[in-house]
Amino acid sequence: MTVKLGFADAGEVADLAAFLARLIHYDRSAAVRLQAGGGAVAVFGRPPSFEVLAIRTARLDAVVELDVTVSAGELLEALDEPASAVVVPPSVTGPPWAGVLPPRGGWQQLPGLPSASEIAAAVGAAVAEFRARDEALPAAERTRAERDRLGREIWSRTLGSTGLPLRVVHAAQSLGFLRPGAPVALLGAGPWLRLRTPYGSVAVRSTGSGVTGLKFSSPPRPFP
């Protein structure tokens, strides 16, 4: 069955295309889960370099209910910016994370988030530290495993007193969600933490157990 989604305007298509392109940059075979309801669609992806869930929402021109996992590349190719629409590609067998998403409701804003300039400084310092320590590694130790270990050590640190891993902020910056002057909020729901901006959200569980959590079998309301 062919499903076509119409977007509220071409800007929604352009922003979604940019998000998909960034996901594919990190994983050429990336899959995304689409959940539409209440006049909007939420697109969930998981860039492997960051071990987080990235969420981009887009406004639709009609109320549609949909819940499907598709190829990010095929979805990007199917986007029609002039028509502000997309024919949803065939579903694919989703990766494990696609069956496990953050809760739809119950989010509360949390205190302690540093200013935008402090957030940018924290990410910049972490990137600089990784590069310096990577360059200092002896040639025999400059392996993928050692670099991964170094990355986990640095990006698992938390942002100030928030409990939010730095990899969440790094992901938000790399995916184009953090932009000068844009408001940023830290939200919590159960074991989940989420960094939200007008351009997208990045969510992670605060239990240290990876991306696991609640499963939804039907299209819920738009992601807040």
User: Average of pLDDT values for 141-167?
Assistant: 92
Q: Looking at the whole model, is its pTM more than 0.85?
A: yes
| Residue 201: per-residue pLDDT | 96
Is 154:130 a contact under the CB 8 Å cutoff?
Answer: yes
123 phi and psi, to 5 degrees? Answer: -65, -45
User: Average of pLDDT values for 78-92?
Assistant: 95
| Residue 223: per-residue pLDDT | 55
- Cβ neighbours of residue 199 under 8 Å, at least 6 residues apart? 15, 56, 176, 177, 178, 179, 182
Band the pLDDT of 211: cuts 50, 70, 90: very low
Band the pLDDT of 217: cuts 50, 70, 90: very low
User: Average of pLDDT values for 48-57?
Assistant: 92
Band the pLDDT of 1: cuts 50, 70, 90: confident
Domains of the chain, with CATH numbers?
4-99 (3.10.150), 108-205 (no CATH)
